[in-house]
A and B are shown apart, each in its own frame.
Chain A
């Protein structure tokens, strides 16, 4: 089983707890290894500072997304006919040229869909930040979705929370429309219908 498939077998919340453990300053792997190799002097709490907590959440979000997106790309690339590569190779096309002129155009619909979905999923990503910092320290990692949840579920202000949720949908809707407009042009450039 390829490793990214194993990654997908891991529930997101459990994976986040695994990362939480890795980021732990006192007993975590990253801090422990960094101290052992002399990179840092004492324990480093990655989730206690605004910047490091933010980057830690980004790394984990990439980890969560990598498995899913890799699977889709793998399926798409496996669907590209080998004949096309062989024909191009016989014509003297190099590896980079084949990648640019065969692989990319053939998997362009998947790239479009996955990029859009990945952007939407990440915008709405909740579990990671909630498990790591609950939006802290001092709001450093609070995203729109965390604020919505805190307002609606945490403070029982359902109306205000729902208003935020609608704003999120409008924002994502506008983003999706703009994105699809740009991608129509890209698709035309690559000759993808």
Chain B
């Protein structure tokens, strides 16, 4: 179309812009793909190599062998994505229609409340259930932080000292007896 004609210089500018944009967007993806092809030994190697003859697709076949439930995990992802999308659409489309086409009280205020949902990040939303429920029952992998309490540690060490002296003495004595036993039997 006549309206869309560009000069050569403009075209060069556009393509340079596109190239920079594409590089920026795809760089982590390309690096991830390159990493997936390289053997473990090459990952921690200097100087940096973009390509090597030992690169292979072995990791892609290995993951099917090492993770027996991989198919299940993929299916779970697909199932969650599909269900969430479908349910979201069921709620969102009528809501969007209502806000776009209907007039009702507190329309602006309730629309603003949608925005407030975004003001809480997921990390912060973890706080209320953790605060109220016994956290260690809910999330077993979380362990209480190790607090530095030098007085308590010193007290424990002091309390353990006599026991360890006696234990070492007994252990040493028993070991000595055990070694001497065959001699006495002879």
Please name all residues of chain B whose beta carbon is closer than 8 Å to the beta carbon of A66 when the two chains form the complex.
24-25
Which chain B residue has the least Cβ–Cβ distance from A20? B28
Please name all residues of chain A whose beta carbon is closer than 8 Å to the beta carbon of B24 when the two chains form the complex.
63, 66
The B-contacting residues of A in range 28-49, CB under 8 angstroms, are: 28-29, 31-33, 35-36, 43
Contact B121 A10 (CB under 8 A): no
Among B47, B115, B127, the residue within 8 A (CB) of A32 is B47
Please name all residues of chain B whose beta carbon is closer than 8 Å to the beta carbon of A28 when the two chains form the complex.
48
Contact B121 A86 (CB under 8 A): no
What class of interface size applies to chain A in its complex with B? 35 or more
Whether A191 is near chain B, meaning CB under 8 Å from some CB there, is no
Whether B177 is near chain A, meaning CB under 8 Å from some CB there, is no
Q: What 0/1 pattern do residues 129 to 171 of B give for CB contact below 8 A with A?
A: 0110001000000001100000000000000000000000000
**Chain A CB within 10 Å, residue with most, of B24, B32, B124:** B124
Q: What 0/1 pattern do residues 152 to 191 of A give for CB contact below 8 A with B?
A: 1111101101100100110011001000000000000000
Among A10, A27, A126, A154, the residue within 8 A (CB) of B48 is A27
Which of B38-46, B56-64, B68-76 is the interface stretch? B38-46
Whether A72 is near chain B, meaning CB under 8 Å from some CB there, is no
Whether A74 is near chain B, meaning CB under 8 Å from some CB there, is no
The B-contacting residues of A in range 54-76, CB under 8 angstroms, are: 63, 66-67
Which chain B residue has the least Cβ–Cβ distance from A175? B119
Whether B3 is near chain A, meaning CB under 8 Å from some CB there, is yes
Q: What 0/1 pattern do residues 89 to 123 of B give for CB contact below 8 A with A?
A: 00000000000000000000000100110111111
Contact B46 A26 (CB under 8 A): yes
Please name all residues of chain A whose beta carbon is closer than 8 Å to the beta carbon of B120 when the two chains form the complex.
124, 165, 168-169
Among B21, B29, B44, B130, the residue within 8 A (CB) of A6 is B29
In the bound assembly, the distance between CA atoms of A3 and B26 in angstroms comes to 7
Contact B121 A29 (CB under 8 A): no
Among B26, B32, B35, B130, the residue within 8 A (CB) of A7 is B26
In the bound assembly, the distance between CA atoms of A17 and B26 in angstroms comes to 14
In the bound assembly, the distance between CA atoms of A168 and B43 in angstroms comes to 40
Contact A156 B144 (CB under 8 A): yes
Contact B28 A18 (CB under 8 A): yes
Please name all residues of chain A whose beta carbon is closer than 8 Å to the beta carbon of B123 when the two chains form the complex.
126, 130, 145, 148-149, 153
In the bound assembly, the distance between CA atoms of A124 and B127 in angstroms comes to 15
Contact B32 A3 (CB under 8 A): no
Contact A120 B119 (CB under 8 A): yes
Please name all residues of chain A whose beta carbon is closer than 8 Å to the beta carbon of B145 when the two chains form the complex.
154-156
Contact B25 A86 (CB under 8 A): no
Please name all residues of chain A whose beta carbon is closer than 8 Å to the beta carbon of B124 when the two chains form the complex.
124, 145, 148-149, 152, 161, 165, 168
Which chain B residue has the least Cβ–Cβ distance from A17? B32
Contact B44 A27 (CB under 8 A): yes
Which chain A residue has the least Cβ–Cβ distance from B48? A32
**20 chain-A/chain-B pairs, Cβ below 8 angstroms:** A3-B25, A4-B25, A15-B29, A18-B32, A26-B46, A35-B48, A36-B47, A66-B24, A66-B25, A67-B25, A121-B118, A124-B124, A149-B123, A152-B127, A152-B130, A153-B123, A156-B135, A158-B131, A168-B120, A173-B119
